Amino acid sequence: MRFGTKAIHAGQEPDPTTGAIMTPIYQTSTYVQESPGVHKGYAYARGKNPTRVALERCLAELENAKHGLCFSSGMGAADAIIKLLVPGDEVIATDDLYGGSYRMFTKVFAKYGIVFHFVDMHDFDALERTVNAKTKMLWVETPTNPMMKIIDIERCVEFAKKHNLISVIDNTFASPYLQNPLDMNADIVMHSATKYLNGHSDVVMGALCTNDDNLYEQLAFIANSCGATPGPQDSFLVLRGLKTLHVRMERHCANGVVVANFLANHPKVEKVYWPGFPSHPNHDVAKKQMRDFGGMISFSLKGDRFEDASKLAQAVRVFSLAESLGGVESLLGHPASMTHASIPKPERERSGITDSLLRLSVGIEDAEDLIEDLTNALNAI
Ligand SMILES: *Cc1c(COP(=O)(O)O)cnc(C)c1O
């Protein structure tokens, strides 16, 4: 089956008791057993729920994976992955990592004796200098947030294999529609399903997929033991959201092209960060590993004044000023004061997050309305 057909059908059969075409919400915490220990594979809902199983099967097929596992948030999925490690183990992670992952690594797991190194993953010399006998995992995020750098997944996985590291790709920004890291031999692909997978800004959820039976067994054990598994209502909503993933992503990408080009030609805009431009430093890598370039775009303003970015953020009417991304509605964020506020200014500016930098999650509205909205907001500066 092809992507769009899998998005709608994978993991889902008509309900055996009624023929209902949509997977029922199995709102139950436990299951009746025929005799002690004899049941239909379902014993207690922290471990397994049929609505969640349908979602896990569907996600696994979209990532061309053997196994899928869902969690109560993206951070819950990331937490389970790090719990594969033991004290003394080391992880090499992308340097401009999602803030929540950075916080969990440095403020929670560092306390348990796991050591994290944050490295620019375009610099393979730096990777070779950092890896040592204790290194066990490579954690890659691409495209990066908010600078939209593209990291070469194949090269990173090659590096990981050479040094016997578990390779993890946070695929939240791309979604399985744009890139499939397991096809590039990665060990684990992780998602904040809160974003594009659900796509309607009404659920917080996480997921991971793998082809490795042993890793899957360990991760499923951790999920059930530690308990960050999602409920059936949320599983149903994400399963429903997935049915339009391919159609939504096509529109996100089409609107992304229009908005990126509009911004690049606007006299008040300094720089646009979007991997679809041939002038983007990693455009060739993006072309190699992504099906299209997506609707995540960052840009800075001429003069780089915070006040201008703030005025623009308050002047938009179709875009909303909010954290998060990947929903049907267009969002605008100001990384320096929102997602990256805790990073000291010199360090933040070194990585490109200047005072006027704005990040767009371009939604699936009519492109003309998005352009009119941005035109008006830029005129308000
Ligand atoms: C949002 C996000 C997460 C965390 O996911 P939650 O569902 O918010 O817990 C992890 N990685 C990336 C890239 C994200 O955007």
pLDDT digit string, tens, across residues 161-201: 999 999 999 999 999 999 999 999 999 999 999 999 999 99
Taking a C-beta distance cutoff of 8 angstroms, is the pair 365, 258 a contact?
A: no
Task: Look at ligand 1, atom 2, and give the residue with the nearest C-alpha.
Answer: 192
User: Ligand 1 centroid vs 75 CA: distance in angstroms?
Assistant: 6
Q: Whose CA is nearest to atom 5 of ligand 1?
A: 74
| Pair 62, 182: CB distance under 8 Å | no
Could you say which of 98, 177, 216, 273 is catalytic?
A: 98
- pLDDT value at residue 310: 97
Whether 98 is catalytic is yes
Domains of the chain: 3-242 (3.40.640.10), 245-379 (3.90.1150.10)
Q: Distance from the CA of 358 to the center of ligand 1, in angstroms? A: 19
How many Cβ atoms are within 10 Å of 91's Cβ, its own excluded?
23
Q: Which of 170, 187, 292, 355 is catalytic?
A: 170
Enumerate residues 6+ apart whose C-beta is below 8 A from 285: 150, 151, 152
| Sign of the torsion formed by the C-alpha atoms of 43, 46, 47 and 48 | positive
CA–CA distances in Å: residue 144 to residues 36, 148, 172, 223: 50, 5, 10, 27
Of 195, 248, 251, 359, the active-site residue reads: 195
User: Confidence band (pLDDT; 50, 70, 90) for 84?
Assistant: very high
Q: Which pLDDT belongs to residue 342?
A: 77
Catalytic residue among 31, 42, 46, 66: 46
**Gyration radius from the chain CA atoms:** 21
How confident is the model at residue 339, as a pLDDT?
Answer: 86
The residues near 324 (Cβ < 8 Å, ≥ 6 apart) are 194, 195, 201, 331, 361
Nearest one of 152, 164, 87 to 124, comparing CA atoms: 152
For ligand 1, atom 15, the nearest C-alpha belongs to: 172
How far is it between the farthest Cα atoms of the chain?
74
As for ligand 1, residues whose beta carbon falls within 6 Å of it are 73-75, 98, 100-101, 141, 145, 170, 172-173, 192, 194-195, 204, 206
Task: Return mean pLDDT, the chain.
Answer: 97
Cα 318 to ligand 1 centroid, rounded to whole Å: 24
| Residue 325 CA, closest ligand 1 atom number | 15
Task: Classify residue 381 by its DSSP letter.
Answer: -
Among 74-78, 95-99, 197-201, 230-234, which is the least confidently predicted range? 95-99
Is there a catalytic annotation at residue 177? Answer: no
Q: What's the pTM value of the predicted model, to 2 decimals? A: 0.97
Cα(100) to ligand 1 centroid in Å equals: 7
Q: Using CA atoms, how far apart are residues 180 and 4, in angstroms rounded to an integer?
A: 15
The DSSP code for 182 is G
| Catalytic site includes residue 170 | yes
Q: What is the mean pLDDT of residues 286-293?
A: 98
CA of 207 to the centre of ligand 1 (A): 10
Convert the pLDDT of each residue in 310-367 to its tens digit: 999 999 999 999 999 999 999 999 999 998 887 788 888 888 999 999 999 999 999 9
What is the band of 282 on the pLDDT scale with cuts at 50, 70, 90?
A: very high
Q: Are 228 and 73 in contact (CB under 8 A)?
A: yes
